[in-house]
Amino acid sequence: MSDPTTNVTGTPPPSGTPTAVTGTPAAAAKPAPAAAKAAAPAKGKTARRSLLLAIVATPFALAWTTFVAAMGLMTLGTLRFLFPNVLNEPPSKIKVGFPDNYEEGKVTDRFKDANTWVVRNNGIIYALSTTCTHLGCTPNWLEREQKFKCPCHGSGFYITGINFEGPAPRPLERWAVSIGDDGQIVVDKSKKFQYERGDWSNPESFIKV
Ligand code: FES
């Protein structure tokens, strides 16, 4: 048997020469037809796999994006809850003018939007909360009848704020009042005074005039 590393003349090829019988360097660079045929189905397989991946991955990606967006919104909502925008809150202190602007025996409706009636009665000025002590509706001051009347369930309150008819279980509340540096009455709604607790004798709950 002949040595495969020898040529037809029986001498070994010089070093660096390809050992294939038919091969030249140029021929070796060309892809074999069989290899090209094998590559074609492989390409098809890869394309099918990519399509399958796309079909599976697209709903997954959509679900993931939706989940991430929902989590982001929840986080924003939590942050908003933790840091409420206090700038939108109405001020707790309001100036309501000078004591001389108020007439004895009269209720001033001008600050009703600020949840306050200013009343001058029996030589004192006080500020009543406009929140009914039954279920929180806003009563109306009826000048002719000299009473506050709640439109929701009919509770009635005297000019002092004390309840006398209907389901309201207790008198209206009073806010703190004081005279500011400029001589105007300042109503402070961060402090409230309740009759049933004996708060109305507290000098912060009225101004003597
Ligand atoms: S809320 Fe005023 S009487 Fe019910």
Structure tokens at 22: 């038919």
Residue pair 198/172 in contact (Cβ under 8 Å)? The answer is no
Residue 160's SS3 state is coil
Looking at the predicted structure, is the pLDDT value of residue 199 above 50?
yes
Q: Is 130 in the pocket of ligand 1 (CB under 6 A)?
A: no
Closest-CA residue, ligand 1 atom 3, reads 153
Q: Is 153 in the pocket of ligand 1 (CB under 6 A)?
A: yes
Q: Is 172 in the pocket of ligand 1 (CB under 6 A)?
A: no
Report the mean per-residue pLDDT for the chain.
82
- Give the mean model confidence (pLDDT) for residues 13-40: 49
d(CA 96, CA 103): 14
Distance 201 CA to ligand 1 centre (A): 26
Closest-CA residue, ligand 1 atom 1, reads 135
Q: Is 166 in the pocket of ligand 1 (CB under 6 A)?
A: yes
The single-letter code of the amino acid at 21 is V
d(CA 62, CA 25): 53
Atom of ligand 1 nearest to the CA of 139: 2
Strand partners, 148: 141, 157
Q: What is the model's pTM? A: 0.61
What digits encode the pLDDT tens for the residues 111-147? 999 999 999 999 999 999 999 999 999 999 999 999 9
d(CA 137, CA 131): 6
pLDDT score of 4: 45
Distance 149 CA to ligand 1 centre (A): 9
* Phi, psi of 190, deg, nearest 5: -85, -10
Strand partners, 174: 128, 193
What digits encode the pLDDT tens for the residues 142-181? 999 999 999 999 999 999 999 999 999 999 999 999 999 9
Q: What percent of the chain has pLDDT over 90?
A: 56
DSSP structure class, residue 108: E
